[in-house]
Amino acid sequence: MDYTTQMDAARKGIVTEQMETVARKENMRVEDLMARMAKGTVIIPANRNHLNIDPEGVGDGLRTKINVNLGISKDCCNIDVEMEKVRHALKLGAESIMDLSNFGKTREFRQALVKESGAMIGTVPIYDAVGFYEKNLSDITADEFFKVVEAHVEDGVDFLTIHCGMNRRTAERIDKHDRLTSIVSRGGSLLYAWMKHNDAENPFYEYYDRLLDICEKYDVTLSLGDGCRPGSIHDATDAVQVQEMIELGELTKRAWERNVQVMIEGPGHMALNEIAANMVLEKRLCHGAPFYVLGPLVTDVAPGYDHITSAIGGAVAAASGANFLCYVTPAEHLRLPTLDDMKEGIIASRIAAHAADIANGLPGARTWDDKMSQARADLDWEAMFSLSMDEEKARAYRESSKPEHEDSCSMCGKMCAVRTMKRLKEGKNIQLDD
């Protein structure tokens, strides 16, 4: 092999199979794709050990992608249930799955997930470390943290979320700043606690080159985690969040020097009017690296409906520069999501992603909508169902309330405007009482 990573290949002018696949999916010339990959503004997460991957590109000029979180925990450790979620997530069109497992047979689940999924797979190794070693967080050594990372990449994980920006400088900013919700990132809080207990630097920051060695060897994308993402709209765009983003920008340049692909993770909770500016800030401070956002959730008062608060923020974020949306389910802040919760979250995120692609003028994005509009104008229900983002739900709604006449619905009946105009164009009389 004449290259180490997809970025290295792009910089050397080598067209890989993954690049050809992504260029075809995106209706893009492979030369244009390679130019963006060489600069770091587009990535193709594809671990060499993930043999069945159907690669996707993430970054500027490409379709907005979505990620689904799942995994086993101490309270919900049924691998079969989580694998059923995997199959449904793939069926519903998720391009990425993150395994957030932190208890029990985590490696067994991860290996099964990689084998089952053609979508790209991400993990957060520090979640796994405590359960893996069965000892207190503060007693885990730097070497032990890295051994867990190596196990994940050996299993075929395509991208790793690691909170390298949670260093001493960032921690000092947290200590001085009066945040309402402090640290809400699980990985960020674990590393912050480890640093405090051991009076030591974050090992993933201190030994960052060792992490890059691992990523380069397996061509694993580094997803630089947002340990200081705002957990409330009160804390959005504060000095703590920005301090970490500055650190992530410097780490991005160091990764690119090694041809390691990078994406940046971002907020969190954020008022609607702050989102666009935050996207610009990230792109500027992190040199155009792809931006992977959780939400942003635009209000804090809708538990049970946070898939909606997230989709609102996600649409604005993706229309303003974000490239990758992490789904949020109605169960966010409340419990581990069920299969139905997961479905609601996926559809909400896909709506946000597609709406942003339309707003961004992505070639072909409107074609799907135009086909649906034509089906509606024709009152072609079967075509409408087949074009629906969730065909099953659309059919169920239609069947639950059948109209008197097939060329209408139970909302308007014969007074349906589309029916009226269609009949006029066909030269038919409009009789509302027949």
421 labelled binding-site residue: no
Helix (H/G/I), strand (E/B), else coil: 429: coil
Rounded CA separation 323/152 (Å)? 24
Asked if 145 and 204 touch (Cβ cutoff 8 Å), the reply is yes
258 labelled binding-site residue: no
77 labelled binding-site residue: no
The token pair that represents 303 in the structure block: 């538990």
Phi-psi region of 31 (alpha: psi -120 to 50; beta: other; left: phi over 0): alpha
For residue 125, is the peptide bond before it cis, meaning its omega torsion is within 30 degrees of 0?
no
What sign for the dihedral angle of Cα 102, 107, 111, 112?
Answer: negative
61 labelled binding-site residue: no
Question: What angle is formed at CA 333 by the lines to CA 329 and CA 335, rounded to 5 degrees?
Answer: 75
127 labelled binding-site residue: yes
What sign for the dihedral angle of Cα 130, 133, 138, 141?
Answer: negative
The token pair that represents 104 in the structure block: 């029990």
Rounded CA separation 150/314 (Å)? 32
Helix (H/G/I), strand (E/B), else coil: 222: strand
Q: Which of 194, 221, 80 shows the shortest CA–CA distance to 129?
A: 194
118 labelled binding-site residue: no
DSSP state of 269: B
292 labelled binding-site residue: yes
269 labelled binding-site residue: yes
Produce one character per residue of 155-174: b if its CB has 16 or more CB atoms within 10 Å, e if not. bbbbbbbbbbbbbeebbebb
Asked if 126 and 153 touch (Cβ cutoff 8 Å), the reply is no
185 labelled binding-site residue: yes
List own/partner pairs for 178-183 with CB under 8 A and 24 or more apart.
179/235, 179/238, 179/240, 180/232, 180/234, 180/235, 181/230, 181/231, 181/232, 181/234, 181/235, 182/231, 183/227, 183/228, 183/231
Rounded CA separation 104/73 (Å)? 7
98 labelled binding-site residue: yes
186 labelled binding-site residue: yes
215 labelled binding-site residue: no
Q: How buried is 219 (Cβ within 10 angstroms: 0-12 exposed, 13-18 middle, 19+ buried)?
A: buried
198 labelled binding-site residue: no
Binding positions are: 69, 98, 127, 163, 185-187, 226-229, 265, 269, 292, 333, 409, 412, 416
Annotated binding site for substrate: 69, 98, 127, 163, 185-187, 226-229, 265, 292
Q: Which residues are annotated as a binding site for Zn(2+)?
A: 269, 333
Query: What residue numbers does the annotated binding site for [4Fe-4S] cluster cover?
Result: 409, 412, 416
